[in-house]
């Protein structure tokens, strides 16, 4: 048997919004190369869990360890530097930036030239400032900037290429000209460009039709085959069933079942949670 290395360890994680206990003390681990899905009814705390692990939200209490080291809470940049990349439930691409620039945005947290502007990534309106700074620097290239641009270009290309042939031909097009499915692919390519230790996907197939969903499934299967460690939040059970080594079921902020897709779908508590709404 393969020896399993723990990538993520979450203990006693809690986060409330006003009186709502969105995540009410959960514990789970993810091992290297594992594909773990989180399912549960609407409002059960799935996105909040992803937001906590990726540093978008600060926990009220609890511990998040990535390869044994504490992830600094409340900062997506620090989570990204630690090796955690994510996509958002509602998709976030910048319409006026090209596909390649959108992928590049994901890399500015790791490159030295953009580091002074790094904190701006926090503010939606200012997110593109690091890119403009990067372009301005490129006009008077020092050897260091030139070397960093080389690395950047290679990483952007690999981010695009790793998500199939659909994006590479569109690299120079503004994102607003893309189909919905391609915008979501762009977002995944951006996350992949970071070469993350852990990839978090929040409903990557939301709003996609059946053939687009199946294609996302194939691409995720390929990532899994390459050994990428993944946490998937998804409503579409065909994806969950096809891909998951393990499924975590949440309801009202708690984990109510963990097991293989077959195990959790036969679980009384899970059936009740879904039928009870
Ligand atoms: P899921 O992704 O499983 O549908 P969420 O994690 O988005 O669930 O939400 C869990 C609960 O926390 C819901 O009751 C939701 O309304 C609440 N919630 C989530 N985010 C916020 C927020 N930023 N402010 C207030 N309430 C929130
Ligand atoms: Mg959600």
- Domain boundary at 134, 163, 195, which? 195
The most confident of 138-152, 167-181, 223-237, by mean pLDDT: 223-237
Question: CATH no. for residue 211?
Answer: 3.40.50.300
**Alpha carbon separation from 250 to 78, 80, 120, 130, 172 (Å, rounded):** 27, 25, 34, 37, 41
Asked whether residue 9 falls in the same domain as residue 105, the answer is no
Ion ligand 2 residue ranges (Cβ < 5 Å): 46-47, 89
- The CA 8 to ligand 1 mean position distance, Å, reads 22
Pocket lining: 180 vs ligand 1, CB cutoff 6 Å: no
Q: Per-residue confidence at 194, pLDDT binned at 50, 70, 90?
A: confident
Which residue, 195, 215, 243, sits at the end of a domain? 195
- Arithmetic mean of pLDDT, 217-246: 94
For residues 248 and 275, membership in a common domain is answered with yes
What pLDDT score was predicted for residue 189? 85
Ligand sitting nearest the alpha carbon of 58: 1
**190 and 202, same domain (yes or no):** no
More confident residue, 80 or 57: 57
Does residue 15 line the site of ligand 1, with CB under 6 A?
A: no
Q: Based on the domain organization, do 156 and 62 belong to the same domain?
A: no
- What does the H/E/C string look like for 157-190? HHHHHCCCCCCHHHCCCEHHHCCHHHHHHHHHHH
In ligand 1, the atom with minimum distance to the C-alpha of 50 is 6
| Residues written for the chain | 277
From 141, 163, 195, the end of a domain falls on 195
41 lines ligand 1 (CB under 6 A): no
CA of 221 to the centre of ligand 2 (A): 22
Range with top average pLDDT, 124-133, 205-214, 255-264: 255-264
Whole-model pTM: value is 0.84
Nearest CA to ligand 1 atom 13: 43
Q: Which ligand is nearest to the CA of 21?
A: 1
Residues 6+ apart with CB under 8 A from 147: none
Residue numbers of the domain that contains 137? 84-195
Does the beta carbon of 44 sit less than 6 angstroms from any atom of ligand 1? yes
pLDDT on residue 41? 94
CA distance 19 to 21: 6
Q: Whose CA is nearest to atom 15 of ligand 1?
A: 43
Tokens of residue 184, six digits: 């979501």
Is the beta carbon of 43 within 6 A of some atom in ligand 1?
Answer: yes
Residue 71 and residue 91 in one domain: no
Q: What is the mean pLDDT of residues 166-170?
A: 81
Q: Which of 176, 171, 234 is nearest to 207 (CA)?
A: 234
**Mutation test of ligand 1: which of 26, 42, 43 has the most ligand atoms closer than 8 Å to its C-beta?**
43
Question: Looking at the 3D structure of the chain, how many domains does it have?
Answer: 2
Does pLDDT of 110 surpass 50?
no
Please write the tens of the pLDDT for every residue from 11-56: 999 999 999 999 999 999 999 999 999 999 999 999 999 999 998 8
The H-or-E segment that residue 84 falls in is strand 84-86
Same domain flag for 202 and 230: yes
> Is residue 269's pLDDT more than 90?
yes
């Amino acid at each position: 048997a393969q020896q399993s290395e723990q990538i993520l360890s979450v203990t006693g994680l809690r986060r409330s919004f006003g009186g709502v206990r969105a995540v009410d003390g959960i514990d789970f681990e993810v091992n290297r190369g594992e594909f773990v899905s989180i399912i549960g009814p609407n409002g059960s705390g799935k996105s909040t869990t992803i937001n906590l692990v990726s540093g978008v939200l600060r926990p009220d209490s609890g511990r998040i360890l990535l390869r044994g080291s504490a992830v600094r809470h409340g900062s997506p940049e620090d989570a990204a530097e630690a090796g955690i990349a994510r996509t958002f439930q509602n998709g976030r691409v910048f319409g006026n930036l090209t596909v390649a620039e959108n992928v590049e945005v994901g890399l500015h947290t790791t490159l030295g030239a953009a580091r002074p502007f790094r904190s701006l990534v926090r503010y939606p309106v200012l997110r593109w400032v690091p890119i403009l700074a990067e372009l301005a620097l490129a006009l008077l290239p020092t050897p260091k900037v030139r070397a960093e641009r080389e690395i950047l270009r290679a990483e952007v290309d690999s981010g695009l290429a790793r998500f199939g042939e659909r994006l590479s031909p569109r690299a120079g097009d503004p994102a607003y000209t893309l189909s919905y499915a391609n915008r979501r692919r762009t977002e995944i390519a951006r996350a992949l460009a970071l070469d993350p230790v852990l990839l978090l996907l929040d409903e990557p197939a939301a709003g996609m039709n059946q053939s687009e969903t199946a294609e996302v499934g194939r691409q995720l299967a390929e990532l899994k085959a390459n050994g990428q460690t993944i946490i998937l939040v998804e409503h579409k059970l065909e994806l969950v069933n096809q891909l998951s080594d393990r499924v975590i079921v949440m309801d009202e902020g708690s984990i109510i079942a963990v097991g293989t897709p077959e195990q959790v779908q036969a679980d009384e508590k899970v059936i009740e949670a879904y039928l009870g709404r």
